[in-house]
Amino acid sequence: MVKEKPNSTRCYDADGYRRRAACICVRSEAEDEVLLVSSSGASECWIVPGGGVEPEEQPATTAVREVIEEAGVVGRLGRRLGVFENDERKHRTEVFVMLVTEELPEWEDSRAIGRRRKWFSVDEALKQLSLHKPVQVEYLESLACSPRDSQVVDDQFTATIPRDHLTPAGDNPVQTDVT
Q: How many CB atoms lie within 10 A of CB 88?
A: 8
Angle at 106 between CA 162 and CA 29, to 5 degrees: 85
**Alpha-carbon Rg for the chain in angstroms:** 15
Which residues, 6 or more positions from 142, have their beta carbon under 8 angstroms from its beta carbon?
Answer: 81, 82, 84, 95
List the end-to-end C-alpha distance of the chain, in Å, as a whole number: 30
Q: Tell me whether strands 8-11 and 18-26 are parallel, antiparallel or unpaired.
A: unpaired
The residue from 66, 69, 108, 138 that is catalytic is: 69
CA distance 61 to 6: 21
69 labelled catalytic: yes
CA distance 128 to 36: 9
Residue 117: beta bridge partners? 37
As annotated, the active-site residues are: 69
